[in-house]
Chains A and B, each alone.
Chain A
Amino acid sequence: MKVELKNIGKKYEGREDFTLKNINLEIDDQDFCVILGPSGCGKTTLLRMIAGLNSITEGDLLFDGRRVNTVPPKDRDIAMVFQSYALYPHMTVYDNMAFSLTMRKEQKKIIDERVRAAAQLLQIEDYLYAKPADISGGQRQRVALGRAIVRNPKVFLMDEPLSNLDAKLREHMRVELVRIHKQLGTTSIYVTHDQTEAMTMATKIVLLDKGKIQQVGKPDEFYNKPNNIFVAKFIGSPTMNIIEGVFKGGKFISNNETIVLTPSIEDGKTLAKYEGKRVSIGIRPERFESGGEFGDTFTATIEVVEMLGKEKILHAKLSDGSDLVISTPGHYEYNEGEVHKFGFDINAIHFFDTETTMRIN
């Protein structure tokens, strides 16, 4: 089902400001849309509005072109997985999963078929008759998913469903969720603050901050063409390096003149109108060049080396005291306290207008 948000705004009673304002979004059928943002940005509110658990202050919410602003949650043909799982503690796993169908007065036989099919899909057949208190966190998580799947909903809503799992299980469930999403062929809307989850699972990412949409697009667009400095810093780990400076004489010069950089010819053209203005550059840690001679270089002292195996994260300091994070292949020899020269991959520089924080190139 296609979900459209038109100019949606939300103001909680008793609050001065709008929590969300002017949200325009189109989520196509079978999309896996991830709503991403730091805590308190309004992403859960947005999801709850789509679910019908919170009222919509202004704007229209359309499901397949039909306005559903005032339709109660049970009639929206949606299912939701909660952060806390919200399993009914007094019912068995089976009853938990069958509950929504029982409420719809579905036939016993059909309910049984659907519950067992979902249990098989999620590999929870062995404890269908256990109570939620008797199973582990990961299993509860699956039951919560199962409860949503059984419904066979048109839209699948998930509110940080993996945040209570340990790292290994989370990795596993990420893949599983995408697999289930494809198998069911529904539209999924997934809320998270974890950019890794967003990057790995989404077909479409919506990044929210301070109640506004910062960027909408595919994961690689987010990584390679961030709209503004906020997006650039939010996506990617370790965080992108942002260096402030001015654009002068066709070159970028950092504030303390520790870094001087000539942009690529293409970037140079777009930057021409920023001559003499304050500009920031962004460069991902892995796009520094090391161990050779390149056009523009700078020297930095390595303060801390984080060894991750396949890569080494270098926390370096420039002569003016500013910090840079540089990632190099794990087998390169770098030690703390050493001074090295580094260059830039000139095609991977992001230019931002320092005033507006918006992307230039």
Chain B
Amino acid sequence: MARKKENKEKLYLSDKPPLTLFGKIGIFLTYVVLFAWVYAIVWPLFQMFVSAFNGKQQQYIMANSNFEFSIRHFQYLFTETLYLTWVKNTLIIAGTTALLTLIVVSFTGYAYSRYRFKGRNASLMAIMLIQTIPTFAGITAYFTMHSIVSSIIPQFSRQMMLILIYTGGAIASNTFILKGYIDSVSTELDDAAKIDGCSNFNVYRLIIMPIARPMLTIIALWSFIGPFMDYLLAKVLLTSPKSYTLAAGLYTLVTDFRTMNQPAFAAGGLLTAIPIVILFIALQKQLVSGLTSGSVKG
């Protein structure tokens, strides 16, 4: 009995010796930090959530305890602003970005992983280094490029330019990630597939791509979320409110004093999360690890 009690009083962390007094203080401090952190993240979100549904809130969000459930801020969003247009714009831009990124990164990642060619290491380094320059630094170049291209092809819109910029950035960073992942797949699989009758393209399509699926899913997800998050490029590049993305559009609700409506901004932000959450849930099944296990060795 006595021993059992003693055991209960001791604090264990996984399979290590019981914690000493210092260890316990350390654990306590760790939890204090963690809780503070959680509070810092959750509190603003909670405020946003409450304000979005609070009918008592007017143009400016006031921190007070008056609460009345209402969806009038959402109504405002749908009737008085171009919210749905922005959603549509963002979905198109994000979807196209994700798709283009996936296609291009598939090729570049596979090529960098499997083929030896002149300038392979140099170009990889170049891609890596260019990453350090913020995308926004090229804004003047983007304007020039857009005006040159659109003078030849009038259909080339600012939104398309935006898609290209997002895709370009995503390709560079994700090529690295996918290359690293494919590197971990045994090249004997490629050899086996080639003997079994696959062309180079089929080796990727039928063997490597299914194995790299979790990584491809993450790449797709990231590049899809990117346009939802980016405000700066969209705001500068897109000129008319009709062509705005969500981030740029919603921003007008808190900066421009003519259209100011902070609770509607909160409501819009809340709704923005929905497509991303849906996508996450839909893709969750793809995000399984350990797909390469069992291919090689005993």
Contact = CB atoms under 8 A, between A and B. Distances in A.
Interface of A: 13, 48, 51-53, 72-74, 78-80, 82-90, 99-100, 103-104, 131-138, 140-141, 147, 151, 164-165
Given A82-B192, A86-B191, A90-B211, A74 B297 contact: no
Given A133-B294, A136-B298, A86 B198 contact: no
B195 A79 contact: yes
Contacts of B116: 13
A103 B196 contact: yes
B194 A74 contact: yes
B292 A89 contact: yes
B188 interface: yes
B130 interface: no
B298 A89 contact: no
Given A82-B188, A88-B207, A74 B195 contact: yes
A132 B298 contact: no
A283 to B, nearest CB: 38
A191 to B, nearest CB: 13
A53 B191 contact: yes
A86 B189 contact: yes
A131 B294 contact: yes
B155 interface: no
Contacts of A51: 191, 195
B291 A53 contact: no
Interface string B101-128: 0000000000000001000000000000
Contacts of B14: none
A85 B296 CA distance: 6
A60 B128 CA distance: 43
B298 A165 contact: yes
Chain B binding surface, main DSSP class: loop
Contacts of B186: 84, 86
Contacts of A151: 196
Interface in B104-162: 116
A140 B296 CA distance: 9
Nearest to A88: B207
Contacts of B194: 53, 72-74
B44 interface: no
Contacts of A164: 297-298
B26 interface: no
Nearest to A157: B195
Interface in B267-292: 290-292
B196 A134 contact: no
B196 A74 contact: yes
Q: Select the residue from B192, B197, B207, B293 with max chain A CB neighbours within 10 A.
A: B192
B295 interface: yes
A147 B196 CA distance: 9
Contact of B293 (A13, A79, A88, A89): A89
B297 A137 contact: yes
A253 B211 CA distance: 65
A292 to B, nearest CB: 49
B298 to A, nearest CB: 2
B241 interface: no
A89 B196 contact: no
Nearest to A80: B195
B18 interface: no
Contacts of A135: 294
Given A80-B191, A80-B192, A104 B294 contact: no
Q: Select the residue from A74, A78, A89, A147 with max chain B CB neighbours within 10 A.
A: A89
Given A86-B186, A137-B297, 10 more contacts: A72-B194, A73-B194, A74-B196, A83-B188, A88-B207, A89-B292, A90-B210, A132-B294, A133-B290, A165-B298
Given A86-B189, A89-B211, A78 B195 contact: yes
B188 A86 contact: yes
A73 B298 contact: no
Contacts of A131: 294
B230 to A, nearest CB: 35
A86 B196 contact: no
B291 to A, nearest CB: 6
A137 B192 contact: no
A138 B297 CA distance: 10
Contacts of A89: 211, 291-295
Nearest to B202: A103
A318 to B, nearest CB: 44
A137 B210 CA distance: 23
A135 B295 CA distance: 11
A37 B196 CA distance: 27
A151 B197 CA distance: 11
A52 B298 CA distance: 26
Contacts of B211: 89-90
Contacts of B198: 74, 103
